[in-house]
Amino acid sequence: MSLSLKVAELIKMLPDAQLSGHLVLKEFTGIANLRDARSGDLSFLGNAKYKGQVKDSQASILLLPNDYEGKPKDEQLFFRIKDPSWALAKICESLERKLSPSVAPGIHETAFVEESAQIDSSATIGAFTYVGANSSVGSNCKVSTHCHIGAGTSVGESSILHPGVKLLTRCVVGKRVILNAGVVVGSDGYGFDQSEGMHHKIPHLGKVLIEDDVEIGANTCLDRARFEETKIGKGTKVDNLVQIGHNVKIGKNCLIVAQVGISGSVEMEDEVIVGGQAGFAGHLTVGKGAKIAGQAGITKDVEPGAFLKGNPALPFHLAQRISVLQRKLPDLFNRFAQEKTKD
């Protein structure tokens, strides 16, 4: 990874850091993990299990926790700080601004904007994007190429739509929302009535509401509600390839990892964490602060603060005990067979 940031800028960016060591270099030119870093690179200790790699790291600059007791080598500079991972994120934000080409506000000549749409003068509308009738795009928004903003849809200030995002009709996107490439918001819910041996489509007339400071990962789909709204709460972060069904209500500050499937009308309270590939049956309630392990199958309501694992899901420690016992079953059967032979 080729990049550059001056040491003086780094010191200014992290005023609470305690510095030790000496460095002739005036800037670092790459970021790498502790093991692979070379002279001129910046590295960090974000997980205590890699602590042993610090002493052998060849990185010129190291972001370390305050309690790290080792000493820098010659031509090495330590930044001791409360949270090295947070510090690295701050550095990467600065680098991203430098690396990403700045696009002047305005509407690209190949974009098509309906006359009744309202686009703030500070917003950017990328090439081959469509903005529908009676829709609105707020101040400082960045709408990339090949996006679709349907009729009656609003996008709040400072939100970012990456390439290929599709916002269908009557959706509401809050402030500082990030929709990554390929996100689809407001597609029809999966609803059919069976009559006379055929599946008849049920029209979905509701909307999707995404509150402030939400991020949705690439190729994730959020279905519109049948009548009211599908809702994603403030500060929630959803990973790639997640399916969120119609009328789902997700609370504030939830974390939902890749390939999760959430069936219609699930209500997920605040601060829930869901591991990858977990699945939820419809019309369930998941209580505040619950944790769902990866690949768990949730078929019943989940109590607040619960930690579940397995399919069907069980309390985490019980599921762990069962897993241990399952691994012992072959030996148990062998012993049983040997005892039976003796008889």
pLDDT tens for 216-249 read: 999 999 999 998 999 999 999 999 999 999 999 9
pLDDT band, very low/low/confident/very high, at 2 (cuts 50, 70, 90): low
**Of these residues, 148, 162, 204, 246, which one is catalytic?**
246
Q: How confident is the model at residue 330 (pLDDT cuts 50, 70, 90)?
A: confident
Q: Which domains are seen in the chain, by residue range?
A: 5-99 (3.40.1390.10), 107-316 (2.160.10.10)
Q: How many CA atoms lie within 13 A of 30 on its CB side?
A: 14
What is the pLDDT, as a whole number, of residue 343?
62
Q: Read off the pTM.
A: 0.87
What proportion of the chain, given as a percentage, has pLDDT over 70?
99
Q: What pLDDT score was predicted for residue 175?
A: 98
The per-residue pLDDT for range 112-125, each reduced to its tens digit, is 999 999 999 999 99
Closest to 101 (Cα-Cα) out of 126, 122, 64? 126
246 flagged as catalytic = yes
* Distance from C-alpha of 60 to C-alpha of 4, rounded to nearest angstrom: 13
> What residues are paired with 223 via a beta bridge?
187
215 close to 178: Cβ distance less than 8 angstroms: yes
Q: How far are the Cα atoms of 55, 157, 203, 343 from residue 166, in angstroms, in the given order?
A: 48, 18, 19, 71
Print burial letters for 69-80: b (CB count within 10 Å at least 16), e (below 16): eeebeeebbbbb
